[in-house]
Structure 1
Amino acid sequence: MQPSYSFSLSLPARESIKAGLAMAITGGIAMGLGWSNPSWACIAVAVVSMPTVGESINKGLHRLLGTLLGGGLALLLVALFAQDRWAFVFGMSIILGYSIYRMTISRYVYVWFICGYISLFLASYVPDTSQQIFNLVTSRVQETALGVVVYSAVSTLLWPQKSALGLNNLVVKLLDTQKKALQGCFSMMRDCASSGSEALYGLEAQLVSQLWRVLDAAEVEQFEIYEVRGWWRQLISQTEQLMESLELWRESLSELPPDMPVEMVFINIDEFQAAIAESLDQSALLLQATSGDEPQRVDLTVDTRQLAMLSHHEQAVWNNVRYALERIETLVASLHITIQMLVSPPRSSIWEQPKKVSALSRPADADSLAGLARGFVGIWVAAFFWIYVDGPGHLFFVVFVGINILLGQLAPIQWAKFFVSESVGILLAGVLYVFVMPHLSGYFELSILLFTLTTVLYYIFWHPRMTMLKMASILPFLLLVSFRSQQQYDFAAFANSALSMLLALTFGALVSSFPFSQRPEKMCLRVVRRFFRQASRFLEQSTQPASNRKRDISASGLACMQISAGKAGRWAGSIDYELIPDNSSEQTAALVGSLNSIAYRFKMLADARAACPVFQDGFGKHVREWETVIGEAIDPWAHGRFEEVPAGILQDRLPELEAGLETTLAAVSEEAGVDTYAATSRLLGCYRGVYRALITHARICTGFNWNVWRESRF
């Protein structure tokens, strides 16, 4: 019997070969058609190569849209200010600043990145006639379209990776994670001890973010998914709400009395838990194309007699837990209905889909305005250098500075490493330009060079975290060599452009520190201060009558607080703790966790206020007492004085506040009905929860060496 041999390539090898093949084909088509800049089409291939077909097409469409928008702005800029140098620079700075601003608030970050890049790049060409600039813009659009189409075709026909195939499995994995978090919270409620469920929140958030990306790609790949995209988006939105509700519930469990079994208050808690878990299981079975039974809903039964025997602040805690449990049960049931509509949608459901839900909704903040100012100032600094010094690159130096500022906004960059990687890319391009390119006799040899170079570089820098290094290694060759059908060699022009790129990168790194340092520890401090300023504004707005509020505080202030907490976590993850060893990564993680806890406590407070809009005289006075002490605790943190709020002082004030809570709720229970008492007790319990979260945050701040983070480093 002859032995059988099998050979299979790894995923990085397959994807690298696909990128190299698409690069060679694209260059051949562009040169065969006699287009003026075939390297532009190859650049499109280099940047749209993604792991799956849908992601590649999606990014390609975004690049094409950004190219159209940027090309239109370039035409407008040249048409209006071609003869006025200062007005032209002003227009460039406005376009770059606005593009960066849109990158910070829009879902379509890459579209605005390409818009800013293309508008500067095309406007920097100096045409003899208006027809030339128009032809240049149309050439850029058609060559970008060629690169997108060729790579999409190659990725579809050769080793295709489909996002749609894993969409259901990804939802099942998320539901399983949420079920584990649910079981952990139930265990925590019974045992009054940490069950590790808080660690699952990060995994849930990661899976939800991944789901949005996969769905965007799957809509492009399969018409069946695109047809019911409204239900898919509602499903992901419901999982987000369930994730948030689980976290709110977990936060409220820390205040439960340890000596009271949960079964004494919630009589049918076991049946209630089993029904929710069964509903999640049946939802997962539906997505796995396995028929299951219809889950039965169970209402939570509360022993009102036992609840009435507790102290008022304990009743407030149990009321918060009850509200969270009922909210979770409603979301799980709604999620199951949505999955039923996806698995076997009636024809009417396709035409009557839910309102479109956006994956990202980010209000503008200080970082948005700083990005706008950074783009504006960066262009002017580069323009003054170009006009009065006239360094290498001439006007293209200004363009390269703008591109580096855009890159810094797209993702945090370690500028020293980026400078080294781009220098290596330029050196590699120089070696190929001098010693290899002149010896190529035809496109067949050039295609071999493009295929080999792209495949090797993409295989080396395969990991997603090395994407910036991959671009820094391949793009200098495509930009500087700029191969054409009639190739001309000018090493002086090559060296001039290469030096301009490196000098512009240095300028971009310097401008990135305006108007404040972008070092991770400095940004983390800024975001923490901003978080507490937002919390302070929330308290100020919440004390105003609803008719006097300019906007819904739940939709604006709370969203900003959650975004700031997320930003603090991302910047904290970028800190080099070897250079700053005084504060460990565990301490920083605890700090970020306390911010998330405070944000969720304020979310619970906002929901409770909405359910209790009318305050009686005594009750309103006690509410203002809570708001005063919370505001006094937050104020030093909002101004960066993190050491000035000792946890002991906050803890000493808590018994007096709890005594006032007991007195206030005793008066409310005598004057109002059951529903009013439940609403008011829940609201005061939320104020107490916010205050306790601030005490926890103060304890964490005590162990921090804040001065180390404040020190300037070079």
Structure 2
Amino acid sequence: MQQAFKLALSMVLLYWLALSLNWELPKYGALAIALISLDTTGASLSKGIMRIIGTTFGLGVGMLGLALFAQDSSLTLVYHALYLVVIGYFMQSSRYAYAWLVAGFMPSLVWATTYGKIDYAFSFATFRYLETTAGVVIYTAISIILWPQHAGDALNRHGQEFWQQFQELFATYRHQLEKGELTDDAPAKRAKLAGTLSQMLSTIDAAYGDTPSVASRKRAWESFRVASRATVDAMEPWQQSIADCRQLDLDRLLPQVHSSLETLQQRLARIESLWQARSAGEEASEPEDGDESLLQWQELKLVQDSGVRLSHLERAALLNFASQLNLLHRTSGRLLRIMRVLSDLSPVKELDAHALPTDLYRPPRWDAARFTFGLLPAVSFIVGWFFWIYVNPPTGPSVPNLAVSFGLMAVRTPMNVLRLVPIVFIVLWGLVAPVYFLVMPRLSTGPELLSLIFVFVFLARLFLVGRLTALRSVVLPAFVVISGISNNQSYSFMGIVSGAMLVLFALVIVGIVQTLMGSMKSEQTMLNSVRWFFSGCARVTSSYAWERHGNRTGSQVQRKRYLDSMVLPASAKVQALKKRLDYKQFPDNSPDKVQQLDDAMQSIVNRLQALENSQHEFANHAKQLPDSFAVVTDRLRVSLQSVFERWAKLEPRDVMNDQQTELKQFTHELESQFDGLQANSEQSEFDDEVLASLYATIGSVRGLVDAMANAQMVLNQINWNQWATPRF
């Protein structure tokens, strides 16, 4: 109720100010309030600032376009289309996507509004900027004065939930290691932790705006952002490696494993206690050793004289397990150091030596898939332009302009815009039109009109919550735009009909473009995502060429690009799509089978990440190994790449079985190579570190092969032809 009151009061104050000063376009200030109103002051302020920045830049680009190409329609079309290509591409990878979105639709809005009356351009730009800024300032001021909800408080809550869930998931994986079974709730815990992490990281940006204690330590919080993601990412490859060596006698082979796990658990508990103290505003306790016992740990190493005879592949699995656990130790250790800085127990300069690189999760500069997807607004604008030219609807150039807005929305939040058609029409004719035609004409004074605005906005904010929040984002803008409240108020049935036609034309245009650029059917999108996923896996595998004489840094960058642009997004899309599939229409592909497909793909993702971690260490020693070993590993790489490529073509039947003979031959050859390496090691030609890194890498490869074998069984269960059948 407090949030509803603040939003309604802000809207009333904006309209009172605009009507008192006789502003031309009060709807734009009200629109800004409706769109930036979020639960916390910091989040609203952050979004408001992004709207002002986007408006400023977009108005400048729009005015420049009028100055250069107002007399040439073809150049105007090219100018706006090229601009939208740039906006659509960079918006997808930016933390400030909302600013890009506003900057994207503003130039076409300037053009459409001033078409045929270019002398009005400066006045429009001035009032648009003035009223947008006024809306942001008014709502931010009200949020600060009345019942302020600081993003820092939300950050504390999300962080507390995150650390509790992280420790629960770690305890689940530790139970798997010690008891030999993974509890059924592990997938749910993983998904819940990922959601909480996303909430926590997004809240950090909002906390910069309204929580001084967070803003003053922005550098440390940015390091925390990277380290927390790295620690979560390190957990899954370690969990995947547990099953590979669960049957081995870890107490004799890795006697430090239990003490290492205990240290890790104590470190996580210490991080949580520091977070609780910081959240409560209390001074964190400093142990006598300055947490050195938790910051320092002995890396797991295989006991050579354990008396247990291991095959080469068992040794590889064991060392891969140790390597992944050591990585989890390193990332969590960095996280503890950062928490000590945030708790004022350590100086900020410690981050220089121990923090992870800030660009660890920065997307690649060039991504063909992102470029293709980002073309939607530009293509929609072009189609809307020719629709306006040749059909000449009564809404005029507003059609291509609104098509840009919907296209940008679909890029920022992937959706099928055609589904908005019934929602928009229900809102327009069921909620807004009755108020516009039956109530507003009966109001004859300013206080009556402002009272109506307050009641409508208050009720919309009060009742449209939870799952209906998205509906609120349609109701309030529709009310503001359709009502057109100003000192020159008029009521027109044709006005609302034209508005409905405008929305219909724009949505249909964007929907058609979406369909032509890529199917919007859930099952078709699922097929394309699976293909894209395995194509990315094939490319990642192909880049693991022998780096002895190659460009090691270039290969790492290439693999990261394929992981970030193909493998990870496709896996995330499958997770989202499984909730939208029509299982009744496709009975052969039950929810259980789709869940198994999702799990199999996620397992491959974790194995690829584990392989990358091992490869990073192994690459330092590759030049010490003989060329004969390179020949074997390259053949293995080509074989695995071939499997992924055939899966990408949806040829899942017995692909792995076809490779079994070859894989067994590779196993025998690797055994022979290892025998030779051990003999050379005894002659001091190779040190133990070289062999350990090599074994860990082979263990990661073996884990990937096992994950692929499991994926083969899952893929054979899916009826791909049923999903591939076109339907309308």
Q: Aligned partner of 1:117: which letter?
A: F
1:600 Cα shift?
2.2
Query: Residue 466 of structure 1 aligns with which residue?
Result: 468
Cα offsets for 1:240-295 (capped at 9, x unmatched): 1111111110111121152x332111113222222111111122112222526354
Query: Residue 363 of structure 2 aligns with which residue?
Result: 362
Distance (whole Å) between structure 1 residues aligned to residue 472 and residue 156 of structure 2: 32
Q: Aligned partner of 1:620: which letter?
A: A
- Which of the numbers 660, 675, 681 marks the counterpart of 2:689? 675
**Could you tell which deviates more after superposition, 177-186 or 650-659?**
650-659
Q: Aligned partner of 1:25: which letter?
A: L
May I ask how many residue pairs the two structures share in their alignment? 699
C-alpha contact 2:417 2:510 (8 A) present in aligned 1? no
2:569 matches 1:567? no
Q: Aligned partner of 2:518: which letter?
A: F
Distance (whole Å) between structure 2 residues aligned to residue 399 and residue 565 of structure 1: 34
Distance (whole Å) between structure 1 residues aligned to residue 531 and residue 351 of structure 2: 47
C-alpha contact 1:67 1:141 (8 A) present in aligned 2? yes
C-alpha contact 1:71 1:118 (8 A) present in aligned 2? yes
1:414 Cα shift?
4.7
2:129 matches 1:141? yes
- The correspondence of residues 68-217 of structure 1 with structure 2, limited to 5 A, is 68-126=56-114, 132-195=120-183, 196-217=185-206
Q: Secondary structure of 2:558's partner?
A: coil
Distance (whole Å) between structure 1 residues aligned to residue 150 and residue 339 of structure 2: 21
1:366–1:564: structure 2 CA closer, same or farther, 3 Å change rule? farther
Query: Residue 427 of structure 2 aligns with which residue?
Result: 425
Cα offsets for 1:471-528 (capped at 9, x unmatched): 2222222212211112233433332233222222222222221311122322222222
TM-score, scaled to structure 2: 0.90
C-alpha contact 2:604 2:704 (8 A) present in aligned 1? yes
Query: Residue 659 of structure 1 aligns with which residue?
Result: 668
Cα offsets for 1:623-675 (capped at 9, x unmatched): 02211220221111222x24334454455654433323222211111112211
Query: Residue 598 of structure 1 aligns with which residue?
Result: 604
C-alpha contact 2:220 2:348 (8 A) present in aligned 1? no
Distance (whole Å) between structure 2 residues aligned to residue 426 and residue 328 of structure 1: 53
- Which of the numbers 471, 485, 488 marks the counterpart of 1:486? 488
Distance (whole Å) between structure 1 residues aligned to residue 507 and residue 579 of structure 2: 25
Query: Residue 452 of structure 2 aligns with which residue?
Result: 449
Distance (whole Å) between structure 2 residues aligned to residue 629 and residue 550 of structure 1: 23
1:219–1:438: structure 2 CA closer, same or farther, 3 Å change rule? same
1:605–1:91: structure 2 CA closer, same or farther, 3 Å change rule? same
1:292–1:459: structure 2 CA closer, same or farther, 3 Å change rule? same
Distance (whole Å) between structure 2 residues aligned to residue 350 and residue 142 of structure 1: 45
- Which of the numbers 633, 636, 644 marks the counterpart of 1:623? 633
C-alpha contact 1:230 1:356 (8 A) present in aligned 2? no
- Which of the numbers 501, 504, 516 marks the counterpart of 1:502? 504
1:168–1:431: structure 2 CA closer, same or farther, 3 Å change rule? closer
C-alpha contact 1:181 1:246 (8 A) present in aligned 2? no
C-alpha contact 2:395 2:498 (8 A) present in aligned 1? yes
C-alpha contact 1:228 1:350 (8 A) present in aligned 2? no
Query: Residue 547 of structure 1 aligns with which residue?
Result: 551
C-alpha contact 2:636 2:663 (8 A) present in aligned 1? no
Q: Secondary structure of 2:551's partner?
A: helix
Distance (whole Å) between structure 2 residues aligned to residue 681 and residue 307 of structure 1: 19
Structure 1 residue runs of 5 or longer lacking an equivalent are 1-12
C-alpha contact 2:317 2:702 (8 A) present in aligned 1? no
Distance (whole Å) between structure 2 residues aligned to residue 226 and residue 332 of structure 1: 24
Query: Residue 3 of structure 1 aligns with which residue?
Result: none
1:204–1:187: structure 2 CA closer, same or farther, 3 Å change rule? same
Q: Aligned partner of 1:568: which letter?
A: V
Structure 2 residue runs of 5 or longer lacking an equivalent are 278-283, 681-685
- Which of the numbers 225, 244, 248 marks the counterpart of 1:236? 225
**Could you tell which deviates more after superposition, 619-628 or 531-540?**
531-540
Q: Aligned partner of 1:571: which letter?
A: L
Distance (whole Å) between structure 2 residues aligned to residue 588 and residue 90 of structure 1: 44
1:327 Cα shift?
1.7
**Could you tell which deviates more after superposition, 206-215 or 599-608?**
599-608
Distance (whole Å) between structure 2 residues aligned to residue 343 and residue 700 of structure 1: 47
Distance (whole Å) between structure 1 residues aligned to residue 701 and residue 93 of structure 2: 31
C-alpha contact 1:257 1:314 (8 A) present in aligned 2? no
Distance (whole Å) between structure 1 residues aligned to residue 656 and residue 560 of structure 2: 31
**Could you tell which deviates more after superposition, 447-456 or 551-560?**
551-560
Distance (whole Å) between structure 2 residues aligned to residue 420 and residue 485 of structure 1: 32
C-alpha contact 1:425 1:474 (8 A) present in aligned 2? no
2:712 matches 1:708? no
Query: Residue 7 of structure 1 aligns with which residue?
Result: none
Distance (whole Å) between structure 1 residues aligned to residue 523 and residue 7 of structure 2: 37
1:166–1:492: structure 2 CA closer, same or farther, 3 Å change rule? closer
Cα offsets for 1:374-403 (capped at 9, x unmatched): 223222221111111101301111112222
Q: Aligned partner of 1:477: which letter?
A: F
Query: Residue 557 of structure 1 aligns with which residue?
Result: 562
Distance (whole Å) between structure 2 residues aligned to residue 642 and residue 654 of structure 1: 19
1:698 Cα shift?
0.9
1:145 Cα shift?
1.1
1:312 Cα shift?
0.7
Query: Residue 243 of structure 2 aligns with which residue?
Result: 254
Distance (whole Å) between structure 2 residues aligned to residue 678 and residue 352 of structure 1: 29
- The correspondence of residues 395-414 of structure 1 with structure 2, limited to 5 A, is 395-414=397-416
2:312 matches 1:312? yes
TM-score, scaled to structure 1: 0.92
C-alpha contact 2:12 2:454 (8 A) present in aligned 1? yes
Q: Secondary structure of 1:63's partner?
A: helix
Query: Residue 336 of structure 1 aligns with which residue?
Result: 336
Cα offsets for 1:206-239 (capped at 9, x unmatched): 1221111111111111222111111122123212
Query: Residue 376 of structure 2 aligns with which residue?
Result: 374
C-alpha contact 1:521 1:575 (8 A) present in aligned 2? yes
Query: Residue 22 of structure 1 aligns with which residue?
Result: 10
Distance (whole Å) between structure 1 residues aligned to residue 371 and residue 654 of structure 2: 30
Query: Residue 636 of structure 1 aligns with which residue?
Result: 646
- Which of the numbers 698, 701, 721 marks the counterpart of 1:687? 701
Distance (whole Å) between structure 1 residues aligned to residue 465 and residue 538 of structure 2: 45
C-alpha contact 1:97 1:376 (8 A) present in aligned 2? yes
1:47–1:456: structure 2 CA closer, same or farther, 3 Å change rule? same
2:616 matches 1:610? yes
Q: Aligned partner of 1:546: which letter?
A: G
1:582–1:111: structure 2 CA closer, same or farther, 3 Å change rule? farther
Cα offsets for 1:518-576 (capped at 9, x unmatched): 22322222222122222222233221643387562343223332233223322333334
Distance (whole Å) between structure 2 residues aligned to residue 325 and residue 126 of structure 1: 63
**Could you tell which deviates more after superposition, 402-411 or 695-704?**
402-411
Distance (whole Å) between structure 2 residues aligned to residue 151 and residue 670 of structure 1: 75
Query: Residue 9 of structure 1 aligns with which residue?
Result: none
1:554–1:24: structure 2 CA closer, same or farther, 3 Å change rule? same
C-alpha contact 1:189 1:262 (8 A) present in aligned 2? no
